[in-house]
Amino acid sequence: MTQKDWIAIGVALILTAAAHFMGVWPLLGGHPYWSASASMIGFAIGFAFALPTLVWLVKGHREALIYFAVYLAMAIIAIYISTEGKREFVGSYAENRLAGQFWYFAFIAFIASSVAAIALFPRLFSKK
């Protein structure tokens, strides 16, 4: 891993914390109360995805682009599932616990895949 990779991971951490403290997660569909734990868990999982991707899997620009696209697609799918879970949970007046769990865990997956995509961003512009 290069210094740019560590800087990208640091930027992902700062962006995740800033999004939490600025109240971006509830605007994107996260629960206002549970967004703190979703931020911490999501960053940890995103870091756990990004680290082996950066160390072992990505050898050049093409591989970085593929992994970036996969993480971006995961983020889009996760935010969709989170939104649908939220809609069902709120529509059932908090009776449907499964929908609430989909809402919470899919939002964690959204944060994790976003962190992994941000960590891969500098590799998209590498010359290797």
> Looking at residue 1, what DSSP letter applies?
-
Structure confidence at residue 10 (pLDDT): 93
C-beta neighbour count of 9 within 10 angstroms: 22
Q: What is the mean pLDDT of residues 115-121?
A: 92
CA 85 to mean position of chain CA atoms: 17
- pLDDT tens, residue by residue, 6-59: 999 999 999 998 998 998 988 888 888 888 889 999 999 999 999 999 888 887
Range in 18-27, 77-86, 90-99, 119-128 the model is least confident about: 119-128
Confidence at 81, pLDDT banded by 50, 70, 90 = very high
Structure confidence at residue 70 (pLDDT): 95
